[in-house]
Amino acid sequence: MGKGSVTDYHDLASLGEDIRRHILSNLGNDLYPPDPFRYFSGLAYAVRDRLIRMWLATQTAYYDSMSKRVYYLSMEFLPGRFLMNAIINMGMEQGCRETVTDLGFSLDDLAEEERDAGLGNGGLGRLASCYMDSIATCGIPGCGYGILYDYGLFHQTIVNGWQEEQADNWRRHGSPWVIDRMEHLYEVRFHGRSEAYADDKGNLRYRWADADTVMAMPCDILLPGHGGGHVTSMRLWAAASSQEFSLRDFNQGDFVGAMQAKILSENISKVLYPNDEPVAGKELRLKQQYFLVAATLRDIVRRHRKPGPAAFEGFADQVAIQLNDTHPTIAVAELMRILVDEEFLPWEDAWDICRETFAYTNHTVLPEALETWPMDLLGRVLPRHLEIIAEIDRRFQAEVAARHPGDDGKLARMAIIDRGSSRVRMAHLAIVGSHAVNGVARLHSDILRQHVFPDFDAFYPGKFTNVTNGVTPRRWLLQANPVLSALITEAIGPDWVRDLTELRRLAPLAEDAAFRQSWRAAKRDNKKRLARYVLRKAGLGINPDTLFDVQVKRMHEYKRQLLNVLHVVTLYNRLRRDPGLAVPPRTVLIGGKAAPGYFMAKRIIRLITAVAEKINADPAMRGRLRMLFLPNYCVSQAEKVIPAADLSQQISTAGMEASGTGNMKFALNGALTIGTLDGANIEIMQEVGEDNIFIFGLTADEVAAARTRGVDPRSRVRDDPELAEALDMIGRGFFAPDDPGLFTPVVESLLDRGDYYCVTADYRACLEAQDRVNALYLDPDAWSRKSILNTANMGFFSSDRAVMEYARNIWRIEPLKE
């Protein structure tokens, strides 16, 4: 699979004709009038043709080499748009630009016709997509498995300042990238009962009887690695009813009932993250998780046996399964069920295979994210699996008791089934059923070992490890920031695209005045591009000659968008008192979605929009301070926001962010970070240097101590007049004169509920860090120098490095040679 073979697949000479052919024969449309979406679709199908040929060659190489493969199980992928990523990774960009120009279009305009794939929520899903890019680029045999949701998380709009949710039907017009594989339908079962029986040798066996069934149809999306012929795939499962239509019900006049089974079955892959407050929602969520797992393991077993009869004793030598967080953990019980109930392996042999096959990535220390399931729900939906989990727990408890006799507290803490709440702890099942457990940043991994799972770390020496997250430079620098990428390539050559450590060669150029000027010009181009986007999407103008201060991420109290707002209100007050204040003009951009049922996060969005309305309407702030909430934050929006940012807000409460990857993307694009010692901020600081980052606030240990000690936030407010003023303005309705009590709950969350997220504790330190930001930004050369050094020292944070760490240390897989 050498690089030279790739050119055979590009075949750019026929690209224009292929586009026209797809419009006519595949889409059944006329070439005229030349509709942009029609031509985007024709181009996408033409690119897919070439991808398929590359993918078939990759699959042949897998089977010829008999390589071990990794299967990455994730309930979420957040790939964004596919077209430009495929074109750039396949080396087709220039040829495509010329071809579509000849057809009367701009490639960039056609790319804007594509909708973001609604397959994920935030950082977890985007990380999975970065890893798919790196698996392909590094030549790691394997693929990703997920669900083909019809509706993504939701489309966010802002109406009268409030978040409103609309259905994200990203497949409304179909998707040229999704390839249905009808030939590999698998049956997935739910409900029914577990039935004991004796086999012909008198052995006690179990089978799953009287179950309901749903069919899982695989749909492939092909993902090319950069610069080589390696193409991997996401195999996403769509639910199809095993009972299409009841003619008897229809003929008896029950038209709805005739379709009912089909509708209920296909709900499983209908929407990402259904509301799990009602019991029906919880059951649907559990069914989604098992649906992914059951279909995936069937497919993995089929692949394992495809070259010929294969013994399961060698399964773990050929198969590695990575569980991306706790969502797919039911896979542990499912593989045991297949090995014990269907393949008739002894329990001990099956358990050894299971533990050697699975590895588990934990992404959170938040208690609400450590998933548990009620035993009655699990037993009703998956009766045999509950029995298997109970047996795993019984045997594990016996191990613990043998090593720690009489320690009932340890037994209770480590139990997979929590007898007190009658719930199954899925993270415990993942730990016990895997050979490796990793956190995603050094601090996060330390917290897991020392505070979240200390009993397991002591019980399994060496099982817990760390793999710090990374991001793909192809998407997040080469594609998202073509202006800066061109400048970097001109300075140090193109090798950085596949070896991000090459960026360190930029460091000496931080002292070159002409290069700093070019660096600033690239940033200004990106800011102008973002300004045009904001004007088009939000109808507001923003000035590219201001400091772009950006916080874009999921809305959550621990991420502390509220602390950001308090700084903005304080800056507003300072500028009102002293119009000549020596600070740079600033544009504050905040974006992110709040979960539909998260009252406080949605109220904070309303506060952001209210503060923005007041500031933007104040003539005294014109040219000094502007604020904007960016609706519907998503991958394609991030590709415009991140390259334009001067300042990256990473201000979560220390000890609560597992890693973050937005922090890496911003720094890679030359933004300076203001943040706490949380997640991967610590490692970013170590790589870029303490002088090139703005760190403030309590450490994770200090946060824990403050919570234990208990501090009266009101005393902090009394001692800080600027904080008192900002909170008073918010609480008395200065920003909501028509509804003065609108933001009372926000203030009460700080003053009357203990300020759990330490907003008041870190307020003054945050302002002092922002004062340092202001002073530095007033010196453009000094700011540009630090910006260059940030990019130059981000080589460690490539997803290629992370994937190779997984491959060497956890999956034990060698890349295919080119």
Residues marked active site are found at: 363, 553-554, 559, 661, 665
Question: Within its chain, how far is the Cα of 9 from the centroid?
Answer: 31
Per DSSP, helices labelled H in 669-738 are 681-688, 700-709, 713-719, 721-731
- With a CB cutoff of 8 Å and minimum separation 6, the contacts of 7 are none
Vertex 494: Cα angle to 488 and 496 (nearest 5): 80
Phi-psi category of 28—alpha, beta or left, where left has phi over 0 and alpha has psi -120 to 50? Answer: left
Q: What 3-state DSSP class applies to 70?
A: strand
Nearest alpha carbon to residue 716 among 684, 762, 660: 762
Report the greatest alpha carbon distance in the chain.
91
DSSP state of 507: G
Phi-psi category of 763—alpha, beta or left, where left has phi over 0 and alpha has psi -120 to 50? Answer: alpha
Question: Within its chain, how far is the Cα of 748 from the centroid?
Answer: 32
Query: Cα dihedral sign for 757, 762, 767, 771?
Result: negative
Helix and strand counts by DSSP (H, E) for the chain: 34, 23
- With a CB cutoff of 8 Å and minimum separation 6, the contacts of 665 are 471, 476, 638, 642
Phi-psi category of 445—alpha, beta or left, where left has phi over 0 and alpha has psi -120 to 50? Answer: alpha
Please check whether residue 270 is in contact with residue 250, taking contact to mean a CB–CB distance below 8 angstroms: no
Rounded-to-integer distance, Cα 79 and Cα 116, Å: 8
Count the residues in the chain.
818
Rounded-to-integer distance, Cα 623 and Cα 393, Å: 64
Strands 625-630 and 586-591: parallel
Strands 155-159 and 162-166: antiparallel
Please check whether residue 156 is in contact with residue 498, taking contact to mean a CB–CB distance below 8 angstroms: no
Please check whether residue 586 is in contact with residue 549, taking contact to mean a CB–CB distance below 8 angstroms: yes
DSSP state string for 246-257:
-HHHHHTT-HHH
Nearest alpha carbon to residue 563 among 365, 777, 368, 746: 746
Nearest alpha carbon to residue 76 among 427, 275, 327, 299: 327
Rounded-to-integer distance, Cα 603 and Cα 537, Å: 23
Structure tokens at 104: 């009367």
Rounded-to-integer distance, Cα 441 and Cα 659, Å: 5
Rounded-to-integer distance, Cα 504 and Cα 545, Å: 28
Please report how the helices 759-777 and 561-577 are oriented relative to each other, as an axis angle in degrees rounded to 10.
60
Nearest alpha carbon to residue 593 among 173, 1, 166, 269: 166
Strands 417-418 and 423-425: antiparallel
